[in-house]
Amino acid sequence: MLNTLTKLKHAIQQEPWARAAGVEKDFWTFLMEWIEQHVLHDFLSEITLRVDEIVDIDPDLPEPRILGIATQTMVDFLGACSASVRIYDPHTAQMLSYGSYPSDEETRETYIPLEGSIAGEVVATGKPCLVPNILSEERYRNKEVVEKRGVYSLMAIPLDIPRFYPSERDTVGVIQFYYPEKDRSFSPLEILVAELLAKRLSFVVARKKILSMQRVSTKKDTIVRHIFRSLGSRGGIKMKEVFDRVIPELADMVDLQSCALFSVAGDYNHVVLEAGYPEHEGYHSIGKRFHVSSEPAFEVLLGIREYRGDGVYEILNPSYILVVDPKRSTLISENMKRFSETHNINSILYIPLSVEGEITHFMTFDALDQRKRYREDEIEILLFLGRELMKAQRMERLDDILHDFKNPTIATAGFARRLKKLLDQGEWDRSRDQILKYVDILMDETSRLQELALSLYEVGQKQVVDMSEVLRRRFEINREAIKEQLKQNVTLEAGPFAVHLPVLCYPMHLERVFDNLLNNATKAIPLRGGKLWVRTYEDGAWACAEITNTGKISDEDRQRLLGGEGQGRGLYITYRIIRLLNGNIEVKTGKTETTFAVRLPLHREAA
């Protein structure tokens, strides 16, 4: 410090006005001591205090709030009226509004161009830009606003936050300080202090980024732990349970109304709702197909349609599409607009999920708050969640198929042994009808096993089938499974069956429903024995099938079953399929028996 003051004294003495002052030689020494004690001390104390105020800003606050607090400190110290921050967005090549003091983000332009703007020049050169008179500055276009606020000059200071990984970009931006004076001259000291404070602000933002990286890692670990906990459960992985466990982990990021996972058909013609939260009737119809053209956002996300909007109500990014106002966006269908209004959805985020460069799935996040942007760490977590849910959905489907393999494989093995026995006896002519019957059953069941295996990828096409015939056939297969399992004292009774009970469904889905219900009913029959019987009938607009077994369940268990909360995987599969087919299922109890009643919409042929 003494060396600096000595240099300052010599510099002052060389000035013409100092030489003409005619003061004693010791005057300059006393002057330097006075400056050190009364000027530099107070100035450095004040600037240290301001630096500490910025450095001590809570990094857990949202970035716009951090920038707002920091710019308030700078405005107070520099004697400005206001300040604003813009960050360069490499995806749009524009300067993004990112905080201000006093806060006026609602009235500021979200984006301004990089080229031809003061903010863009500061980012491009990395040097301050001084504008003594805004009204005569061509690069500042919105002169009406600044004149209305009574500010006429500005100082623009670069803001630079270095990257943490080689693959990242540096975050660059600008802080603009506004002053009321026209033709204001800015001192080098003002500029230097503003640059110093801006660098301390970049330290705070960098610290926030470090904490965000740590939280991202922690949240990823939590998501994986929840999924593996579901995977290790006795009943296998269930997407509903996964969503119920994982979604609360996102509560500190976004106030979600709902979210969903969709798979994309290979031809990009339609998408399938694979899983959703919350999962209840009328909100997420799991397994439902939507044509891609039903939602413009789907087409833009998949690259089928070119986006031609103005970016006012939606933000497009290579990693996501954010609809900031579903009611006004052209990417949202009228159907979805009504749905959003009914469920108070104020912004929708679409995140594509790719495998080897091809979009195979995507997720949607419906938020109660009107999100105008998501941070990179938030998008990273949501992308990670989506990829993990893709794996979980594949494992769930595999668990379902492995569960439903049991009955047809047991029955097939039984029929194969009977067929071999008949063939070994050599009386082919006398047993011809029985042999042909067994061969037909074996062909049907092995084809069905093949369809089950292929359903890991597709479920086929909807067809009109006779519910009575499907139940009759599955009942006979279950009869053979009972014999193979050597279950004793079970009396079987089939019918009455309604004649021609058409329903529109995926045939394999209906077969799986009846297989699971028959299997559960068989297992529920007491060891002392009992009865299992089935029937079908028509009830108004419904095709109905009932499966009844000896054995009673408690009312508490009945309520759980009605909610699809049974412990067995078979009931979990059954309830999901019934909901997909727009049907319902009832559980009725008598004195000694339990009945599961399946109701599906009766299919009426068009006139």
Band of pLDDT at residue 112, cut at 50, 70 and 90: confident
Q: E strands, 119-226, where?
A: 129-131, 153-161, 171-179
Whether the pTM exceeds 0.75: the reply is: no
What is the pLDDT averaged over residues 294-302?
Answer: 89
CB-based contact 10:31 (threshold 8 Å):
no
pLDDT at 563: 57
Instruction: Please indicate whether residue 548 or residue 44 has the higher confidence score (pLDDT).
Output: 548
Band of pLDDT at residue 179, cut at 50, 70 and 90: very high
pLDDT tens digits for range 262-278: 888 777 888 888 777 77
**Could you tell me which of 118, 65, 123, 56 has the C-alpha nearest to residue 89?**
123
The torsion angle over the Cα atoms of residues 20, 25, 28 and 30, rounded to 10 degrees, is -140
Name which of 198-207, 366-375, 415-424 the model is least confident about: 415-424
Instruction: Please indicate whether residue 166 or residue 370 has the higher confidence score (pLDDT).
Output: 370
One-letter identity of residue 174: V
CB atoms within 10 A of CB 369: 11
Q: What is the largest CA-CA distance in the chain?
A: 140
Helices (H), 322-372: 334-342
What is the pLDDT averaged over residues 136-149?
Answer: 83
Say if residue 564's pLDDT is above 60: no
Task: Report the percentage of the chain scoring pLDDT > 90.
Answer: 9
Q: What residue has token string 């969503």? A: 243
pLDDT at 518: 87
pLDDT tens digits for range 348-392: 999 888 876 788 888 888 888 877 777 777 888 888 877 777 777
To the nearest whole number, what is the mean pLDDT of the chain?
A: 79
Taking the C-alpha atoms of residue 250 and residue 219, their distance in angstroms, rounded to an integer, is: 9
pLDDT at 607: 40
Taking the C-alpha atoms of residue 583 and residue 282, their distance in angstroms, rounded to an integer, is: 12
Of 3.30.420.40, 3.10.20.30, 3.30.450.40, 3.40.640.10, the CATH number of 222-388 is: 3.30.450.40
**Could you tell me which of 353, 377, 376, 351 has the C-alpha nearest to residue 366?**
351
Superfamily for domain range 461-607:
Histidine kinase-like ATPase, C-terminal domain (3.30.565.10)
> Residue 585 class from Cβ within 10 Å (0-12 exposed, 13-18 middle, 19+ buried)?
buried
HSE of 469 in the Cβ direction (CA atoms, 13 Å)? Answer: 9
Name which of 1-5, 124-128, 307-311, 385-389 the model is least confident about: 1-5
Superfamily for domain range 25-210:
GAF domain (3.30.450.40)
CB-based contact 153:185 (threshold 8 Å):
no
pLDDT tens digits for range 491-526: 888 889 988 899 988 787 888 888 888 888 888 888
Say if residue 399's pLDDT is above 70: no
Q: What residue has token string 């603009």? A: 176
Q: What residue has token string 């106002």? A: 325
Taking the C-alpha atoms of residue 237 and residue 403, their distance in angstroms, rounded to an integer, is: 12
What is the pLDDT averaged over residues 406-421?
Answer: 73
Q: E strands, 223-255, where?
A: none
pLDDT tens digits for range 541-560: 899 999 998 887 777 666 66
